Amino acid sequence: MASLPDASTCYELLAKMTLIRRFEEEAGRQYQRAKAGGFLHLGIGEEATIVGTTSVMREEDYLIGTYRTHGHAIARGTEPKRVMAELFGRVDGTSGGRGGSMHIFDRERRFMGGYGVVGGNLPLAAGLALASDYKGEDAVTVCMFGDGASNTGNFGETMNLAALWKLPVFFLVENNLYGMGTSVERHSAQTDLSKKAEGYGISGERVDGMDVIAVREGVAEGIRLAREERRPTILEAFTYRYRGHSAADPEVYREREEVEEWQSKDPIESFARRCIEAGVLGEREVGETREKAEQAVTEAVEFADASPEPALDTLYENLYVLESEAAWYAVDERSPEPHRGEDEEHMPDAARELAEAGAAYAGQPDGPRPNPATHGDAQEGVEPEVAEEVED
Ligand SMILES: Cc1ncc(C[n+]2csc(CCOP(=O)(O)OP(=O)(O)O)c2C)c(N)n1
Ligand SMILES: [Mg+2]
């Protein structure tokens, strides 16, 4: 087991994890009171993975995450009251109340969001890293994403360019064992996600995501490789969300015992215990982190409640729509019947021929299809044979 850092670092790690936990518990409560609208994805249980990662980042580094990122922003230094105001849809929120829970953003602290599209943050991370390289900056981009996101096309495309262009980017997969209600064994052919980008030349390691010190060490090395050697790598952190995927999840895909087993390894309690047993922190300091978190969260709710809602006449601000066309994009005013281009009648001749021939099969010879592993590009010069037909 990796050794503990100095007392003030341990205090800081514990205080941040405790604050995030308390913030999210309160966010869940406020959501049930209908103070926060839209979706709400809580990362309760995942605090060690989040805080372990951000604790070894420099101020100049970029962080980009998913739609489960209240904690990531707070860990990066965003004030909890501004995150709460965003959940409440108020003007003092991090995105002016326009984004809500899934779109927390803080450019000043280089927290680049907050994205609702699964895997959508991966190419953006590569873009941020490319920008740093282009500008000759030392910054590293840390990209955090879920196990489910590793199945998207964006994953492969990003890994390829990151390795090819030697981008200063580091990938952390928050493997909480599920993508919504689908377990990793049911959604990924390769369940060792640290190996999933090996074919692109990106190596990986696995780490206990419930152990803040282990995460910290793994991430520090990954960031070093990205910064000093321009070598992108993946760290797979095993973690667990105690709550459902979002606030509206009946959780029929997992047993209560499984949740309890993970809760017994709680990242905050286990770290506090370890610090006390090692004599690095005292009971008094651990209690103090709880009190401070409680106070910050109470203030955050008061602040968010007092912040006004955006004015109605600002509705079209920050939209990529010309003012004169705003209504056109917002409401399709055309009649309901098909229009030009929406009807098969206007299909070009070539497309019609293909469609009539059965589209996907058009132009293919009859008979069994050759096996691409034994034919084609990989076997240049070898006469194609027809693959043996397999009987079911
Ligand atoms: C491109 C895309 N496909 C599907 C969805 C619907 N969706 C939202 S969250 C989610 C699961 C993602 O799981 P994972 O990447 O493991 O992240 P976690 O929620 O566990 O943090 C899915 C499929 C989406 N938002 N975007
Ligand atoms: Mg997941």
Q: What is the mean pLDDT of each run of 10 residues along the chain (392 residues)?
A: 94 98 97 92 98 98 98 98 98 96 97 96 98 96 98 98 98 97 95 97 97 98 98 98 91 94 97 98 98 98 97 82 56 56 61 60 53 52 43 37
Q: Which atom belonging to ligand 1 lies closest to the Cα atom of 120?
A: 1
Question: Is any atom of ligand 1 closer than 6 Å to the C-beta of 175?
Answer: no
Q: What are phi and psi of 178, to 5 degrees?
A: -140, 145
Q: What are phi and psi of 145, to 5 degrees?
A: -150, 170
Q: Which atom belonging to ligand 1 lies closest to the Cα atom of 116?
A: 25
Q: What are phi and psi of 244, to 5 degrees?
A: -65, 175
| Helix axis angle, 267-277 to 283-306, nearest 10° | 150
Nearest CA to ligand 1 atom 2: 118
Q: Which atom belonging to ligand 1 lies closest to the Cα atom of 68?
A: 21
Question: Is any atom of ligand 1 closer than 6 Å to the C-beta of 245?
Answer: yes
Q: Using CA atoms, how far apart are residues 210 and 315, in angstroms rounded to an integer?
A: 42
pLDDT score of 389? 39
Beta bridge partners of 325: none
| pTM, rounded to two decimals | 0.84
CA atoms within 13 A on the CB side of 254: 24
Ligand 1 pocket, mutate which of 180, 185, 251 (most atoms under 8 A from CB)? 180
CA geometry: angle 386, 391, 392, nearest 5 deg: 135
Question: Is any atom of ligand 1 closer than 6 Å to the C-beta of 222?
Answer: no
Is residue 235 within 8 A of residue 263, CB to CB? The reply is: no
Question: Is any atom of ligand 1 closer than 6 Å to the C-beta of 116?
Answer: yes
pLDDT score of 80? 98
Helix (H) or strand (E) holding 234: strand 234-238
Q: Using CA atoms, how far apart are residues 388 and 85, in angstroms rounded to an integer?
A: 64
Q: What are phi and psi of 253, to 5 degrees?
A: -95, 0
Q: Which atom belonging to ligand 1 lies closest to the Cα atom of 147?
A: 16
Is residue 169 within 8 A of residue 197, CB to CB? The reply is: no
Nearest to 57 by CA among 164, 142, 136: 142
Question: Is any atom of ligand 1 closer than 6 Å to the C-beta of 146?
Answer: yes
The distance of Cα 50 from the centroid of its chain, to the nearest Å, equals 11
pLDDT score of 327? 54
SS (H, E, C) 162-189: HHHCCCCEEEEEEECCEECCEEHHHHCC
| Helix axis angle, 121-134 to 153-164, nearest 10° | 20
Question: Is any atom of ligand 1 closer than 6 Å to the C-beta of 68?
Answer: yes
Nearest CA to ligand 1 atom 5: 118
Please report where in the chains the tokens 């109605």 appear, as a residue.
312
For 186, residues 6+ apart whose C-beta sits below 8 A from its C-beta are none
Q: 134 in helix, strand or coil?
A: helix
CA torsion sign for 371, 375, 378, 379 is: positive
